Amino acid sequence: MKKLIALVAILGLIGLQGAFAQTRSIKGTVTSKEDGMGLPGVNVTVKGTTIGTATDIDGNFTISVSADAKTLVFSSISYQSVEMPIQDVVNVVLEADTKQIDEVIVTGYGVTRKSAFTGAATTVGKKEMEGKFSPDPVRALEGNVTGLQMTTGSGQPGSPATIFIRGRNSLNSGTQPLYIVDGVPFTSDVQGMRENEGQTFSPLSTISPSDIENITVLKDATATSIYGARAANGVIVITTKKGKQGSFNVSFTARLGFEKLPEAKNYKLLNASKFTELSVEAALNNYALKGAAGTVDYYNTAYGLNFPYDAAGMKDFLYWYTPGVEGVDTDWLKEVTRTGMINQYTIDIQSGGKEKTSMKYYLSVDYLTNTAIIKGKDLSRYNVRFNFDQAPSDYIKFGLNSNFSHTETNMGAGGGYFSDPMTQAYMQAPINGPKNEDGTWNFSTVNGYNPVAQRSGLGDKSLAKQNRALFSPYVQVNITPDLFFISREGMDAYFMDEFGYWSFLQPQGKDMRGMGEKGNTSNILLTSTNTMNYLKTFGGVHNVNIMVGQEAQKNTIDYAYLSGSNYAVDYLNQVSLTSIPGSAKSTKDEIILQSYFGNAQYDYNNKYYLSGSFRVDGSSRFVKDNYWGKFWSVGAKYRISSESFMESTKGWLNTLMVRSSYGTTGNQTVGGSWYAARNLYDFGYNYNQKPGSAHLQFGNDDLKWEYTAKFNVGMDITIFDRVSITADYYDHKTKDMVFEVPVSESTGLDAYYKNIGELSNKGYELSINVNLLKTNDFNWDVTLNGSHNENRIEKLSTDAPISSTYTIIEEGKDIYTFKMKEWAGVDPATGRGMWYKGESGEETTFNYNEAGKRYLGSASPKFQGSFSTNFSYKGIDFALQLTTSVGGKIYGNNLRYDEHTGGSFGNNFTEYVYDNRWQKPGDNAKVPQLVAIDGFNESAHSSRYLMSGDYVKIRSISLGYNLPKEILQKMFVKSLRVFATADNVYTFAASDYRGFDPSGIGANGVQWWNYPTPRTYTFGLTLGF
């Protein structure tokens, strides 16, 4: 028996020795060809087997293979697969696969493969941004991201854009997305002490678009819940450029351009001849209808004018009333506008040593000036960025992302909305000129305004100077090949100095002998983020990515304001030189956010994917039990095309995936201030030489976060390696929406904040990209994007709706619903305007007060889409983008003045009035009979001014040429590209639209004398050394 046991043992040892002899250990490193960095998560498999592993965070791997194994296969999403013969050490360099170059999602807390991402997100690269010009880099997202609605209420350089991602998620709280720049939060609140006059500045304009590598828009719960209380409105992640290993590239770009006022649509002003014709017609109609009871006759007799009631007499009356100057024909719009100019120069260096331990850095300097199409408005910006990364060993890596900018913005006149140059250009009579015959300024104008004088050297001022610094240092410690720790600090600090001056050359300023104001703001946002990350592949098929973290944030804002009036002279206008004190105040606000979060991703064999995240936020905005908010998400994805039963489709179906997610996000920006939950008191009051205070706001200990629950289901398809389709359906529900609830006036206040409302957004998104043709020399791509969003108020603070003269916020309706008196047209027999009676039916009335309000649509579009195409042939490239919006309405509040029927006698008219007015019985007119001064309420709020907001816009065109290498070698440069771009080229609007650009109206659909988005043309070159 003992001999048998010994024999078995010997045979076992021989077999074990044979087994060891038949396997060996292979190790190596996988790096990226682009920057030389190690690539984590690359699949390393023995060809023809299921034996495999994955690279660690530095790209290193170790794998045991059998003695007869010949080849290793290296594969990773976004990179071309490589096969390498087996040897003891196998080092591999992977090259990016241009077909899948967008297959990486930057989430702010890190980077994940799109194949493992269960959420909904869209990435816009530098190529798309280079084809458009704007000081604000976020403008490049327009037309490139499904579900993103961008409205621009002003075309002034540096002005902010309003962005809704999958609809507006709140009524009275913050509605803009969270911005993350290189991993840290970025303060994006619009700035400007004259915000109520539409004079605001976008903080995003302090970032140079040329420094940006890509922008990722995160939409659903899987993508955004990790940001918790700040992510209800979506997240936009901006990643700037980095250095590249083994390279030294210097690039210089010069861009010159000009801007033009877009073409007016049914909105051109009358010249002096036509203006006089219509004004005389209105005056004659007044006397014919009103006789001695009319205002024209009153002026004629009361002032002893005795003008005869004929065309000549009424012309004399007009020139007295306005007053006008014979022979003058002023185009006031031309007087306040000009050709805007653009000058931009950028130099950048992208460098990195050849060794893995060498520092890699990116340095850029950018200078931009943009004089606007409206005189007195312009922007200049100086920008310096420095980013570096270094890994001195396999155990540690550190770096810094930094940016400094100095921006100066001239926003033009002050004195209220009616002193805006566009407003006055449309109001002033063309029979008046900017100057009198003796060269002095003419103030015998409509309402005493002279928009040209206001923009002269001694005119109004609204200046803003901003210095902004962004710093984000980080350190990464690799504890094991699978476990690493990252600590990132962030500082976003801006300091704004504003000066405003209402001059002697405008009515309000003249009455006060000038008014000056000074504002100073400092806003410092500090962030500290620490994460522990675990990345591991088990058995070659089980991929795990786990991250837990902690974040602390502190935001401090200091603001001081001072104003005064009554200057001694008009050319010394510092606030300290005023003799009558105005307002003086200073505030300091501070808010703290403490957070704990985590995220986990798992996939089996790149086929089945699961993810989950959680976040706990504690905000000083709230009190007691509501200090902490809890947010979470779950997601799943299934790659059907990888199943064995799909084998027959391999020849044409590359990818078929379905995914779904659900989770919650929050909104901490509730109410009208940072302290909506607290009792507030205002100090600085004086009574009998004793200091006092006043109750400013009721507190509410029960006030808490607004919560938005997000559901998403989507599908991703790739066919023939040429057609990519992404489709999504989403359903968002916001609960605990904050409203101001009325209280008894006896309390001394009128309301307090309470969580009571509900709001929903649901819709679909579809994106199709087709590579129509691809050869060695030619490439042609086409992209179609489309989205639909349905917004609905589910619950308000009271049973009664919130209504204005022409809008309503009501349960069961869209947030931007129009409800107003419905215009029934012009009576052909009399030329009088008519309205419909009651809330329904066809009965009409001439009496405005008898008309009933009706639901007449919404400003929210039913569909938004874009068409993009780009092709390249050898060194030539061309790109074109069209955008469209269908189903939304626009209410032209400005048209009540611009299309007046004589009530604003002396104001100019538009060509639309001239061409469509009623003149005699039987006319089928759109504009009622003109009656000077005494009208019939026909310019009151009604659907007469409600228009279709449908449009198709040629959004951008770009053309470029890269010189051949043969020519460049003679020029001693590495590359030379010349290019031309055109933005906002032309808009095809609905036939009833009257204005400049329906796409330039705010989200509420109300059109005033909006500063139109200009047509922009630029030309430039980029030299590479």
Q: Residue 104's pLDDT is what?
A: 65
Instruction: Specify the amino acid at residue 198.
Output: G
CATH of residue 229 = 2.170.130.10
Can you tell me the mean pLDDT for 688-707? Answer: 85
Q: Which one-letter DSSP state was computed for residue 337?
A: B
Q: Are residues 64 and 120 in the same domain?
A: no
Max CA distance (Å), the chain: 143
**Alpha helix stretches (DSSP H) within 52-170:** 126-130
Can you tell me the mean pLDDT for 451-478? Answer: 93
Task: Confirm if 626 and 670 have CB atoms less than 8 A apart.
Answer: no
835-851 pLDDT per residue, tens: 999 999 999 999 999 99
Q: Residue 98's pLDDT is what?
A: 52
390-407 pLDDT per residue, tens: 999 989 999 999 999 999
Check whether the bond before 481 is cis (ω within 30° of 0).
Answer: no
- 266 within a domain of the structure (yes/no): no
Domain boundary among 910, 938, 966: 938
Can you tell me the mean pLDDT for 649-665? Answer: 93
- 959 within a domain of the structure (yes/no): yes
The pLDDT confidence band at residue 763, using thresholds 50, 70 and 90, is very high
Strand, coil or helix: 342: strand
Q: Are residues 529 and 617 in the same domain?
A: yes
Q: Residue 192's pLDDT is what?
A: 64
- pLDDT of 746 higher than 70: yes
207-219 pLDDT per residue, tens: 999 999 999 999 9
630-645 pLDDT per residue, tens: 999 999 999 999 898 9
- pLDDT of 416 higher than 70: no
Q: Are residues 50 and 119 in the same domain?
A: no
Q: Residue 880's pLDDT is what?
A: 96
Can you tell me the mean pLDDT for 222-251? Answer: 90
Q: Residue 128's pLDDT is what?
A: 84
Q: Are residues 342 and 455 in the same domain?
A: yes
Q: Are residues 611 and 727 in the same domain?
A: yes
Enter the tokens of residue 701. Answer: 């200990």
Question: In this predicted structure, which of 99-103, 183-187, 770-774, 908-912 has the lowest mean pLDDT?
Answer: 99-103
Q: Are residues 315 and 433 in the same domain?
A: no
Q: Residue 967's pLDDT is what?
A: 85
Domain boundary among 35, 66, 96: 96
* Residue 903 exposed, middle or buried by CB count within 10 Å (0-12, 13-18, 19+): buried
Closest listed residue to residue 522, CA positions, set 554, 552, 560: 560
Can you tell me the mean pLDDT for 583-605? Answer: 92
Q: Which residues constitute the domain of residue 153?
A: 104-186+188-242
Domain boundary among 912, 938, 964: 938
Mean pLDDT estimate for the chain? 90
Q: Are residues 895 and 924 in the same domain?
A: no
The pLDDT confidence band at residue 776, using thresholds 50, 70 and 90, is confident
Question: With pLDDT > 90 as the criterion, what percentage of the chain qualifies?
Answer: 66
CATH of residue 90 = 2.60.40.1120
Q: Are residues 92 and 148 in the same domain?
A: no
Q: Residue 91's pLDDT is what?
A: 92
Q: C-alpha angle 134/138/144, rounded to 5°? A: 100
Q: Residue 428's pLDDT is what?
A: 96
- 772 within a domain of the structure (yes/no): yes
246-281 pLDDT per residue, tens: 888 999 999 999 999 999 999 999 999 999 999 999
Question: In this predicted structure, which of 74-83, 158-167, 910-919 has the lowest mean pLDDT?
Answer: 74-83
Distance CA 121, CA 611 (A): 15
Q: Residue 447's pLDDT is what?
A: 86
Distance CA 175, CA 422 (A): 28
Q: Are residues 620 and 683 in the same domain?
A: yes
Helices vs strands, H then E, count in the chain: 13, 52
- pLDDT of 957 higher than 50: yes
- 821 within a domain of the structure (yes/no): no
- pLDDT of 190 higher than 90: no
The pLDDT confidence band at residue 1, using thresholds 50, 70 and 90, is very low
The pLDDT confidence band at residue 293, using thresholds 50, 70 and 90, is confident
Can you tell me the mean pLDDT for 928-937? Answer: 92
- 260 within a domain of the structure (yes/no): no
Can you tell me the mean pLDDT for 1-6? Answer: 44
302-316 pLDDT per residue, tens: 999 999 999 999 999
- 35 within a domain of the structure (yes/no): yes
Q: Which one-letter DSSP state was computed for residue 701?
A: T
Enter the tokens of residue 508. Answer: 């309000």
Enter the tokens of residue 716. Answer: 């991703």
- 149 within a domain of the structure (yes/no): yes
Distance CA 906, CA 323 (A): 8
Task: Confirm if 94 and 39 have CB atoms less than 8 A apart.
Answer: yes
Can you tell me the mean pLDDT for 5-26? Answer: 50
Task: Confirm if 699 and 677 have CB atoms less than 8 A apart.
Answer: yes
- pLDDT of 733 higher than 50: yes
Q: Residue 194's pLDDT is what?
A: 65
Q: Residue 292's pLDDT is what?
A: 84
- 371 within a domain of the structure (yes/no): yes
Per the structure, how many domains does the chain have?
4
Q: Are residues 952 and 980 in the same domain?
A: yes
Q: Are residues 30 and 138 in the same domain?
A: no
Q: Are residues 238 and 347 in the same domain?
A: no
